[in-house]
Structure 1
Amino acid sequence: MKLSGLFLSRPVLAASLILGLFAGQTSFAAQALKTVRIATVAFSNADKITFNGPTYLMDKDPWLKEQLAQRGVELQWVPAAVASVGTFVNEEFANKRIDFAFYGDLPSIILNASGVSTKLIAAGGIGNNVYLVVPPDSTAKSIDDLKGKRIALHRGRPWELSFAKLLSSRQLAFDDFRIFNLNPQAGAAALSAGRIDGFFTLSDAYLLEDKKVGKIIWSSKQAPLDWKMRAELFGASDFVAQNPEVTQLVVDAYLKALKWASQEQHKAEYIELLSQSGQPQSVLLREVEGEPWKDHFNPLINDTLRQHYKDGIAYSLEAKLIRKDVKVDDLLDSRFVEQGLKDLNLVDEWR
């Protein structure tokens, strides 16, 4: 009986193995990557959507789209409105609706502290400058002169960290001011109307000076590099782990765009492309004035960037923006930039 039972079970066992193999193949096919979704800041100007910075070049260059198509994968850009980039991208990552995103430091720290893991896989240059603006008739000459006064600051956005560093350097705290949580558009309007005494913002500060409704009394150009506002290329940790080849393609496309943009002979053309966002070229040129052009496109995950994110995590814990610590070494992943620089013969391009 035992012997016959054994013989009877062999066809069943074989069928089970075949069915199991078929099921495994079906499951693999169902999980095969079909789309790569990349979120990026987008501007609407004259009913035309324009991507920001290097992503504009990545979109116009067919290389990435073609490389993915060869693997049966479609490239999909996910535009993020400038007024709500951080919130939008965090929600998209949390709901697994995007795989990569170009966005700022503080929102990414908040996301990872919440339990949604992403990897910083390429740096965004030396960062963007931030500015302290006061009304044109103000007698204030520094942040110290605004103690006890009204300052507009968009809380939770990347430049909050820069503002915190400025205060700390002067032994000041948020409680020393009346902080109004206003986005840049509302902050500019409040400054123009005389309802605030100071406004901490980005390069739109130059527009306020041009309109003679504000004057800049401080900028991060006067501070260490890690005080700047940063935005980088992030990837969903699960996606990066499961799709290293595709992740490398995305990083390579980004590096190709940075290489082109960083060349001095392309500076005027690149500034013209950026101005499609609606920001005048005169403002864009003043933003980078006095700083090496190539540095604005440095993709290296270096000590300056590492320190910036360590400071950002420490500040987020202290300000109770997050409750759980984020390990900077878990956040940063330099493998793809390092490999891409080798493959594209760009190892000596940035130091």
Structure 2
Amino acid sequence: MARAALLSRFYRPLFALSLAAMLVSEPAWAGAVKEIRIAVPDIGAGTTPSGAGVMDVLHEQKLFEKEFEKDGIKIRWDYFKGAGPAINEALANGQEDFAYLGDLAAIVGKANGLDTRLLSATQRDIKLYLAVQPGSGITSLETLKGKRVAIFRGTATQLSFVSALASKGFKESDFKVINLDYNAANAALAAKQIDATWSGAGVFALKARGLADVPVSTADLGGAGSVQTVLVGSGAFVDQHPELVARLLKAQQPAVTWLRNEANKQAYIDLVSRLAGYPSVIFASDAADQSFASGFDPRLDASFVSNLQRSADQALQAKLIRKAVDVKTWAEPRFLDAALQSTDNAPQASR
């Protein structure tokens, strides 16, 4: 009986989530499309939202708006401070058509029954960092063991931390893990309420003010814990409006091409810095040794699919999900492949 009750408690929310998605799917897609809704995790620290990467370039250059304005279709950008978990809830409730997500959030949604289609890679091998109190003596994951460390659960950051720890033979239970979003974690570290946080480039803002040291990155771990990001589409939207999906992927490509031009690296750093409200030195430090040409490769090629499958398998092993995800069957590269084939100087299609 105890086992049955446990299973019931676990599967009941998943069933409710899937049922909610089915109930809203029919009216959500009835009639002509008047609006395309796009969800983005908000990394901004100021008054303007930012998702970084291709999302900020798309938003700034209004490429989607220009593509669909002749049809009277509006583009609605929804930025979520709650990141992946909040976006998955919105997808389940039929409130979004597309979402730019980190690997874990996309995987969790798929494993929990969300009907999404994996449409494009958006960034590869994103570095994450360990930020610690200055003078703490924490210089490695080994010396972090047993300390208070903040991560944003349910996001790519959590899977990154799990992967980084596994590379050194550790697991989450070896540490005092506290669930905080990125801004709250930075504030807690600055106030010396925690010993460390595992996070993105935003921790360099603390370092610049002398409030943190950054002794470890995923690059120092041979890439263990690096993050991938993706574009997913609602299955209902993809099935009922494939022509709009094709146009959206094609309209995304000029932003990708601009990003992959190394001559635009400083312009990109300035753009994200302005939108996110962080000093440009933060993103300059993060991007200094990165190849944008490879990092922003959009293809769902064998390498990307393999890395994403590895992330899905690790999420299952770490019990972050309860159901396996087959990335190959999840991926739907036909729209991106068509966009790449029609774009000059684009990489070869995914297959």
TM range (shorter): 0.7 to 0.9
Query: How far did residue 41 of structure 1 move?
Result: 3.7
Matches within 5 A, 1:12-161: 31-42=31-42, 47-49=47-49, 52-61=52-61, 63-70=63-70, 72-81=71-80, 83-161=81-159
Whole-angstrom CA distance in 2 between matches of 1:350 and 1:149: 46
- 1:302 has 2:296 as partner: no
| Matched letter for residue 64 of structure 1 | F
Q: What percentage of residue pairs aligned between the two structures are identical?
A: 27
- 1:311 has 2:313 as partner: no
Whole-angstrom CA distance in 2 between matches of 1:198 and 1:69: 47
Whole-angstrom CA distance in 1 between matches of 2:167 and 2:48: 42
- 1:176 has 2:174 as partner: yes
Residue deviations 1:33-85 (CA, integer Å, cap 9, x gap): 33222222456676445564323332344553343344x3513223213x312
Whole-angstrom CA distance in 1 between matches of 2:104 and 2:44: 24
| Distance change >3 Å, CA 62–CA 91, structure 1 → 2 | same
Given that 2:35 and 2:76 are in contact with CA atoms closer than 8 Å, whether structure 1 keeps it comes out as no
Which segment drifts farther, 260-269 or 211-220?
Answer: 260-269
Given that 1:191 and 1:198 are in contact with CA atoms closer than 8 Å, whether structure 2 keeps it comes out as yes
| Distance change >3 Å, CA 191–CA 256, structure 1 → 2 | same
Q: What are the ranges of 5 or more consecutive residues in structure 1 without an aligned counterpart? A: 1-26
1:6: which partner in 2? none
Whole-angstrom CA distance in 1 between matches of 2:61 and 2:164: 40
| Distance change >3 Å, CA 226–CA 126, structure 1 → 2 | farther
Which segment drifts farther, 239-248 or 210-219?
Answer: 239-248
Given that 1:131 and 1:219 are in contact with CA atoms closer than 8 Å, whether structure 2 keeps it comes out as yes
Given that 1:55 and 1:254 are in contact with CA atoms closer than 8 Å, whether structure 2 keeps it comes out as no
Which segment drifts farther, 110-119 or 190-199?
Answer: 190-199
Whole-angstrom CA distance in 1 between matches of 2:296 and 2:184: 30
Whole-angstrom CA distance in 2 between matches of 1:146 and 1:167: 10
| Distance change >3 Å, CA 50–CA 185, structure 1 → 2 | closer
Q: How many residues align?
A: 322
| Distance change >3 Å, CA 347–CA 262, structure 1 → 2 | closer
| Distance change >3 Å, CA 196–CA 67, structure 1 → 2 | closer
Query: How far did residue 225 of structure 1 move?
Result: 4.6
Whole-angstrom CA distance in 2 between matches of 1:349 and 1:264: 19
Q: What are the ranges of 5 or more consecutive residues in structure 2 without an aligned counterpart? A: 1-26
Match of 2:252 among 237, 251, 254: 254
- 1:269 has 2:267 as partner: yes
2:4: which partner in 1? none
| Distance change >3 Å, CA 51–CA 321, structure 1 → 2 | closer
Match of 1:215 among 196, 202, 213: 213
1:281: which partner in 2? 280
Whole-angstrom CA distance in 2 between matches of 1:60 and 1:286: 23
Whole-angstrom CA distance in 1 between matches of 2:63 and 2:85: 30
Query: How far did residue 174 of structure 1 move?
Result: 1.2
| Distance change >3 Å, CA 51–CA 148, structure 1 → 2 | closer
Given that 1:298 and 1:350 are in contact with CA atoms closer than 8 Å, whether structure 2 keeps it comes out as no
Whole-angstrom CA distance in 2 between matches of 1:293 and 1:345: 18
Given that 1:148 and 1:176 are in contact with CA atoms closer than 8 Å, whether structure 2 keeps it comes out as yes
2:22: which partner in 1? none
Given that 1:109 and 1:313 are in contact with CA atoms closer than 8 Å, whether structure 2 keeps it comes out as yes
| Matched letter for residue 261 of structure 1 | L
Secondary structure at 1:80 match in 2: strand
Secondary structure at 1:126 match in 2: strand
Residue deviations 1:205-224 (CA, integer Å, cap 9, x gap): 21121111111111012244
TM-score, structure 1 as length reference: 0.83
| Matched letter for residue 191 of structure 1 | L
2:334: which partner in 1? 335
| Distance change >3 Å, CA 206–CA 51, structure 1 → 2 | closer
| Distance change >3 Å, CA 193–CA 46, structure 1 → 2 | closer
Query: How far did residue 140 of structure 1 move?
Result: 2.3
Whole-angstrom CA distance in 2 between matches of 1:39 and 1:259: 22
| Matched letter for residue 335 of structure 2 | F
| Matched letter for residue 53 of structure 1 | G
1:227: which partner in 2? 225
Whole-angstrom CA distance in 2 between matches of 1:64 and 1:179: 40
